[in-house]
Structure 1
Amino acid sequence: MSDCKPVSTPMTTSFCSQPKPDSSSCDSKEFRSILGALHYLSITRPDIAFPVNKLAQRMQAPTVTDMQALKRVLRYLKSTISNGIHLTRSSHTSLTSFCDADWAGDTNDRKSTGAYLIYFGPNIISWSCKKQPTVAKSSTEAEYRTIATTTQELIWIQNLLEELQIPLTTPTIFSDNIGATYLCANPIFHSRMKHIAIDYHFVRDLVAAKKLQVSHVPTSHQLADLLTKPLSSTRHHFLKDKIGVIEDTAILRGRKGVLTS
């Protein structure tokens, strides 16, 4: 793949999660080997978390189409090889998170993919992209479950920072689903959501105790959108830069120096 043609996004917007019945199988060992390397890379590249998550669900019986989608991720990485997470020094010690879910995005089992991004000050420190274990009956339910998962991670990080004696303000979760946002604070919605497991209602207790704030954010500013669905080139690069995955100018200058020498 060293001479492959670069692409601007890691996955096409037309990607279908349901395998084609006439697709032939590919080398499963090679597929899993490349995917394992990409799993390791996603520790520092959240912009490939979604395609890696989707393709990991094909490890049982990968097809030629899956291998082509996997190679597209490699082609994207070639075009963004000098990109990385940009960390900056800041006096802000607040915890902020963005969470999102695509409702019934998997055409095989109609389960949703939930994702979150957590920031400590201006720097991203934790993210996740994972398929939800149960089918959500509404977009509000899918989003609310993602808020609950994000809250668990926030509490763990908050406890860790408190042990390090770092002062913190009330953590904030941003969701683009108004119904899920209201559900966290307004008990009148309880009758509509009784089928949700009781465990997830601990979010409401934290909001009532003013230990957590859940706020609405427009979909256009929802950063976690990058980890829930394949996006267009313009949208992908906009969110990638906002998240903090940017081009390292020092690496880029080094590469240009090697090419010109």
Structure 2
Amino acid sequence: MHIVRDRAAGTVALTQQRYAEDVLVRYEMAAAKPLSTPITEQLKRAESTTGYVFLLFDGSVSWQSRLQHSVATSTVEAEYMAASAAAREAIWLRKLMSDLGVNVFGATVLLGNNQGAQALARNPLHSGSQP
């Protein structure tokens, strides 16, 4: 994996060109000719983009940004599913830090920008927790 960071533009680019080339060699397809497969500009994706980032001492330690492929009946449900994925990652990161001998104090704060998803998360009938 090759990582290029452009501080001026505030971007990070990742490429797996070397890995792709190794796979082509392994399966004896290194001589294959690449073919562009353009997508019609008129087509629009129905999926929305969701994601999260975890910071530790002002540095990113884990992040995800992807198209929401699961079927959601509303934006609220899609945002709730993304928040659920972030919560699972938070639990895993806390366990990892504990396993590494790092004392984790206090609660992990999850911030979201969808009031409906936040209300859904606080609803004990929906989350399955007992009041």
- Structure 2 length-normalised TM: 0.63
In structure 1, what is the Cα distance between the partners aligned to 2:68 and 2:93? 22
SS at match of 1:174: coil
- CA drift of 1:135 comes to 2.8
Code of the aligned partner of 2:55: Y
Code of the aligned partner of 2:110: I
In structure 2, what is the Cα distance between the partners aligned to 1:48 and 1:118? 16
Q: 1:134 to 1:172 in 2, by over 3 A?
A: same
Residue 122 of structure 2 corresponds to 185
In structure 2, what is the Cα distance between the partners aligned to 1:118 and 1:62? 34
- CA drift of 1:48 comes to 4.8
Code of the aligned partner of 1:62: P
- Where does 1:182-261 land on structure 2 (aligned, <5 Å)? 182-187=119-124, 190=126, 201=127
In structure 1, what is the Cα distance between the partners aligned to 2:12 and 2:48? 18
Counting matched residue pairs gives 105
Residue 121 of structure 1 corresponds to 57
Residue 32 of structure 1 corresponds to none
Q: Does 1:62 align with 2:62?
A: no
- Structure 1 length-normalised TM: 0.34
SS at match of 1:41: strand
SS at match of 1:184: helix
Among residues 144, 155, 168, which one is paired with 2:80 in the alignment?
144
In structure 2, what is the Cα distance between the partners aligned to 1:183 and 1:62? 40
Code of the aligned partner of 2:3: L
Q: Deviations over 1:149-183 (max 9, x none)?
A: 11121111111100112121211110011111121
In structure 1, what is the Cα distance between the partners aligned to 2:57 and 2:122? 25
Q: 1:160 to 1:182 in 2, by over 3 A?
A: same
Q: 1:149 to 1:133 in 2, by over 3 A?
A: same
Q: Deviations over 1:51-96 (max 9, x none)?
A: x9xxxxxx97136x8xxxxxxxxxxxxxxxxxxxxxxxxxxxxxxx
Q: Does 1:170 align with 2:107?
A: yes
Contact 1:118–1:124, Cα closer than 8 Å, also in 2: yes
Residue 27 of structure 2 corresponds to none
Q: Structure 2, unaligned stretches of length 5 or more?
A: 16-34
In structure 1, what is the Cα distance between the partners aligned to 2:87 and 2:11? 22
Q: Deviations over 1:206-248 (max 9, x none)?
A: xx8xxxxxxxxxxxxxxxxxxxxxxxxxxxxxxxxxxxxxxxx
SS at match of 1:127: strand
Higher strand share: 2
SS at match of 1:116: strand
